[in-house]
Amino acid sequence: MLRRDWFQINRNLEFLIFTVLVSIYFIWFAWPLVWIASENSRLVSAFNADEVRHLQILNEMINQRTLKVNSGFTTYGHLFFNVAFIILFPLSCFVEVSEQQIIVVLRLVSVIFAVATVTVTFLLTRRYFGQFAAWLAAFLLSIIPLSFLHYSVMSHPDTVQLFFLVLGIYFCCRLLEEDRMKWVIAASSAAGLAFACKYTGLFLLPIIWMICIVKTIIVSDKNLIKINMIQFARFARFARYVTAAIGIACVILGIIVTPELAARFIAADGSIDSSSYGYSGVKFLTLMRITTVISGCCLTLLSITKFVWSAIGRSLKLSYSIKKVVFSLIAFGVIFFLASPYSFVRLNFIKNFYFQSKHMSFGHVVKVNSSGLEWISILSSSKLLGEFILSLVAISLVLTIYNVSRNGWRQLLEPQYAIWAWVILYMGVLIFRVNTRSPQHLLPVLPFLIILSTLPVNRAINYAKRKLSRKHVIVLQIAILFIIGGIEISKSGISEYRKSTISHEQCAISVKVGQWLSNHYSASTRILYDQYSYIPPFFPDAYVTMGGTIQMLETLKPYIVIVNEAISERFSDINLARVHVSGESEFKRRYEYYVALKNGKSGYILVRDFDEIQVYRCQ
């Protein structure tokens, strides 16, 4: 007993030391970066359009003292904003919270959850792959993927979502290890929290349910289930009545509620004619109506199919599996509601999820039709894993297939195979569905691929333990850690990224343009400017656009017009009009705007060209 207690103390001490080291590292890396370009919302907007929207959203939440998200553009859950609100709200009760404080706190939330992600990755790897693999995986996650480090110092829900995804897979592994209801609820709750960030948590549910069913039917001891035999019979009857009630309600609701009637409830202005990324409000509500009626009919027919419920009542394992799935759904829904309650207002989370689905399948700016295998090349880029680590993952996959073929399919019930299940499921969704090609969308599998990349190395270490003395094994482990670490640090570019980000504000052309405007024009000057251009708060009468039009010039009558090539280049090729997200007519209006300015036919003349940014003045 004393030896076991001492072993646990050592593990706890190791975890404490690890957490302190990771925290120190991220403080060193992130602290200067969270203050970059944070003085005001205009400066934030010059570098990141998402961050300024987040700032506006949280600022309004604080001013109105509510968790309700009323302004800005967000089609995600609200957990990320709610966490930042909880931090800033007590401060706002005593002093006025500045824009800089808001954006810094939003970025610090990402930093905190990045530290938590590395920490849970360490715990998961140590439990199932050993101490050396845990240190190696955490080390690689902290230095290799620049995309992960970039989002860890940026206001974005990605790192918050990633933490709950890693936590959810950890609980899935515990469920495979120990078939208990608490792990079902814990994993489903983590999935609900991830869903409250960016919806990817929804894809955890099939893995949780698969584990529940397989563990119950194949592994669980039937004698333990018999204890609750009467409860299962009652559960089957109750489930049948609930199924019938839901089915009838869905049929009635689908028949009565037309798209026009639903629009009055779902859309604040009652309008459903907006369309982008192939998303149409009319099509969405029509699809919802058809789906509701069909689902209701299926549930009603299921409730009156006696042999199904008789089979459920007789099969204790089947009843127990269904019970776990039901509890999983309840935990997921309740936690999601508690984490993001205002996502349920006007069923925002349903229409936003549908919109995001259309967005991901369309492409970010223009429609993408390239092969989904492009994701593999993105994975091998320097922003994510790199070729060496990806090759280790490939070796790990080969070893896994060999292990299963040699020892039988029951090997798949080992806890670590939950990691493979998640990687395969999510990569399948990306390859066959997602056309918005960005390293950002590979973050949900990044920690798991890094964990899997340590398996070949760990296997070699285990082989060495059988052949070498403990002293030589320790030397070998240290040597491997330094060799891999040295190779990856030299390629990661983390130091260069940090230095360039710190100096980004001083070197940015957009900031120089803003300073030039302040020196040459009065505060009353009206300005129309493209996103990613910096117009100092000195100019209160300024309007930002993601692509201007001639109508904007005629309506606003600005004295100064700023054109940023980051925006104008999106509308420079008329051949993209048919495949652009804004639609053909809107694309042409913006194309004509930039052509008119360039050719001097808009009533504005070029007064200064900063290469990437042009300044025009009214004639």
417-433 and 204-214 are packed helices; what angle lies between their axes, rounded to 10 degrees? 140
pLDDT for position 268: 55
Phi and psi for 547 in degrees, rounded to 5? Answer: 145, 110
> How far apart are the C-alpha atoms of 381 and 403, rounded to whole Å?
29
DSSP for residue 458: H
Residue of 372, 309, 339, 68 whose CA lies nearest to 190: 339
Distance in angstroms between the alpha carbons of the first and the last residue of the chain = 88
Query: Length of the chain, please?
Result: 619
417-433 and 158-177 are packed helices; what angle lies between their axes, rounded to 10 degrees? 140
**Per-residue CA distances from 88 to 39, 71, 107 (Å):** 17, 18, 13
Sequence-ordered list of residues with C-beta below 8 angstroms from that of 137, at least 6 positions apart, any chain: 121, 122, 125, 129, 447, 450, 451, 453, 454
Confidence check: pLDDT of 603 > 60: yes
Confidence check: pLDDT of 378 > 60: yes
DSSP string across 141-202: HHHS-HHHHHHHTSS-THHHHHHHHHHHHHHHHHHHHS--HHHHHHHHHHHHHHHHHHSGGG
pLDDT in tens, 550-567: 898 988 899 999 999 988
Lowest mean pLDDT among 232-236, 448-452, 466-470: 232-236
3-state secondary structure at position 76: coil
**Per-residue CA distances from 614 to 93, 383, 583, 594, 599 (Å):** 43, 31, 26, 11, 13
**How, if at all, do strands 542-545 and 527-530 pair?**
parallel
Residue of 112, 150, 125, 168 whose CA lies nearest to 14: 125
pLDDT for position 230: 58
Instruction: Provide mean pLDDT across the span 128-150.
Output: 88
- The rounded mean pLDDT for the chain is 83
Residue of 299, 301, 292 whose CA lies nearest to 252: 292
Phi and psi for 609 in degrees, rounded to 5? Answer: -115, 115
- Residues of the chain with pLDDT > 90: what percent? 26
Decide if 550 contacts 588 (C-beta within 8 A): no
Lowest mean pLDDT among 132-146, 273-287, 329-343, 498-512: 273-287
Instruction: Provide mean pLDDT across the span 149-163.
Output: 92
pLDDT in tens, 34-45: 998 888 888 988
pLDDT in tens, 518-544: 999 999 999 999 999 999 998 999 999
**pTM of this structure:** 0.88
**Per-residue CA distances from 215 to 173, 230, 310, 320, 531 (Å):** 12, 21, 22, 11, 53
353-378 burial, b at 16+ Cβ within 10 Å, e below that, comes to: bbbbbbbbbbbeebebeeebeebeeb
Sequence-ordered list of residues with C-beta below 8 angstroms from that of 52, at least 6 positions apart, any chain: 41, 44, 45
pLDDT for position 314: 66
Q: Tokens 């130091």 appear where?
A: 495
**Per-residue CA distances from 33 to 43, 123, 181, 512 (Å):** 14, 28, 43, 20
